[in-house]
Chains A and B, each alone.
Chain A
Amino acid sequence: MPEISPDFTTAICARIGLDRYITAESALGGVYVAWSADGVSAVRQSGDEEAFEAWYAERFERRCVPAIEDDSIATAARAKLRGEDADVPIDLHECSEFEQRVLRKAAEIKGGGARPYSWVAREIGSPGATRAVGNALGRNPVPLLIPCHRVVRSDYSAGGYVFGGEAKRALLEREGVNFGAIGEVVRRGFRYVGCDDGYFCLPSCGDIASRLDEPGFLGLHSLEEAHEHGLRPCRTCRPMAA
């Protein structure tokens, strides 16, 4: 007899316009994870089912009900939220094209690093749109799965977050962002940090986080200064975009 796919129910729910959600464990405790057949559509703090379902119906204009079983999307989302490597499909249909560009860019930032809002704006080809980038990240329907918490203010303070600024900072610290050292670099008026491997980075680049505590790093005030030292821009944090 035929094997029944784990996504059997999901295919039916897609056709009747019904999304489902689970409660999953994450670095920030319990979260609701809602999904459609196209992928995870929402991640929100758990606690009040009724409020979550009302918020979901309002924002997505679809009903979302508690799931009984995990399908392949829910399984992948749980793994990713536990910190495992998992490919989680994300459903961003409800986001504008600009918001999607912002969120895809944020999704590229690896754990241990952070980037300013202005960096995202430049990277997506809208250098003047720093505020709009902030708004788009604030509307991120799938925080944690798309790590919008890795985008911070230009002074590298954490800034706002759907789970609260404190949670954002704690999350970044847990991922290895060295706020103390980054603050020190900024306080001394440096915008970039030169490394002995011939590259220069943003102070929040994940590649140099551990080296910032060592004495004698090369602080740089400007791109010109970096060029004078013959340094090339880091390929991970692409400091030219900041």
Chain B
Amino acid sequence: MAVACALDAPDPDTLLAGALARDLDRSFERLVIAYRTRIVEFVARMLHDNARAEDVAQDVFVRAYRALQTYPAERTGELRLRSWLYAIAHNLTRNAVRDAPPRSDSLDFDDGEPRAALADPDPGPEEALLRAVAWDSVAEAIGRLSPALRPAFVMRYVDELSYDEIAASLEQPVGTVKASAHRGLLAVRAYLEKNDA
């Protein structure tokens, strides 16, 4: 995959990282435009709070800018922007989610039972199921996901990041984020089935 990319034309993120490395100020609005929708939506899902999402998403970009100011150009040029921004967004939303009072009806499959599904983390049909149901219900289910499962689930099934990118964003092993995303998926599906019934 990496080899194939290297042989193709550079992807937009590589070009953007290069532009940021050359002149951060002149290229920064490009970064905001490229990622604002994703980041605002990700934050909204993580916080389960649309009203605060824009403010927190702005914090994400301010943090990103301040970090880029301190990076040498080589480091900026080699950044994997997507997972890097999600990592900042995750860090900023994590505390807010953790500090929020736990919901008594929080969805969490962490019952200590090993699940057969974890052996095959490729969701396939479940992903299609998620797309088919009303978004309101999914958003409600995401809001009820436990903080441990929510970021990996949202990054994988809503924002469609690769497991490598999610692992980089969350600073967790790939196996762990696969498990979290899948457990989140099972929890969301169970919630949807229960509430549709």
Q: Which residues of A contact B (CB under 8 A)?
A: 1-2, 4-5, 8-9, 11-13, 15-16, 18, 20, 63, 65-69
Contact = CB atoms under 8 A, between A and B. Distances in A.
Given A4-B36, A4-B54, A12-B61, A68 B44 contact: no
A16 B36 contact: no
Contacts, number: 54
Given A8-B36, A11-B58, A20 B53 contact: no
Contact of B29 (A2, A4, A68): A68
Interface in B1-39: 25-26, 28-30, 32-33, 36-37
Given A4-B37, A12-B61, A16-B66, A67 B29 contact: yes
Given A1-B44, A2-B41, A12-B65, 20 more contacts: A1-B40, A1-B50, A2-B44, A4-B36, A8-B32, A8-B54, A9-B32, A11-B58, A12-B32, A12-B58, A12-B62, A13-B29, A15-B58, A16-B62, A65-B25, A65-B28, A65-B29, A66-B26, A68-B30, A69-B29
Interface residues of B, number: 22
A124 B41 CA distance: 50
Contacts of A15: 58, 62
A11 B40 CA distance: 14
Counting from the closest, the 8 A-B pairs by CB-CB distance are A2-B50, A65-B26, A12-B61, A16-B65, A68-B29, A2-B53, A15-B62, A9-B32
A69 B36 CA distance: 13
Nearest to B65: A16
Contacts of B29: 9, 13, 20, 65, 67-69
Contacts of A63: 25
Contact of B54 (A2, A16, A18, A65): A2
A91 B26 CA distance: 22
Helix, strand, loop or mixed for chain A's interface? Answer: mixed
Given A1-B50, A2-B54, A11-B58, A68 B33 contact: yes
A59 to B, nearest CB: 17
A1 to B, nearest CB: 5
23 contacts: A1-B50, A2-B50, A2-B53, A4-B36, A4-B40, A8-B36, A8-B40, A9-B29, A9-B33, A11-B58, A12-B62, A16-B28, A16-B62, A16-B66, A18-B28, A65-B26, A65-B28, A65-B29, A66-B26, A67-B29, A68-B29, A68-B33, A69-B29
Contacts of A1: 40-41, 44, 50
A65 B23 CA distance: 10
B49 to A, nearest CB: 9
Contacts of B50: 1-2
Interface string B62-74: 1001100000000
Contacts of B65: 12, 16
Contacts of A67: 29
Nearest to A11: B58
B128 to A, nearest CB: 21
A96 to B, nearest CB: 28
Interface centre among B29, B30, B36, B37 (most CB of A within 10 A): B29
A5 B28 CA distance: 18
A50 B32 CA distance: 24
A67 B58 CA distance: 17
A12 B28 CA distance: 10
Nearest to A5: B54
A5 B37 CA distance: 11
B9 to A, nearest CB: 22
A10 to B, nearest CB: 10
B19 to A, nearest CB: 12
B42 to A, nearest CB: 10
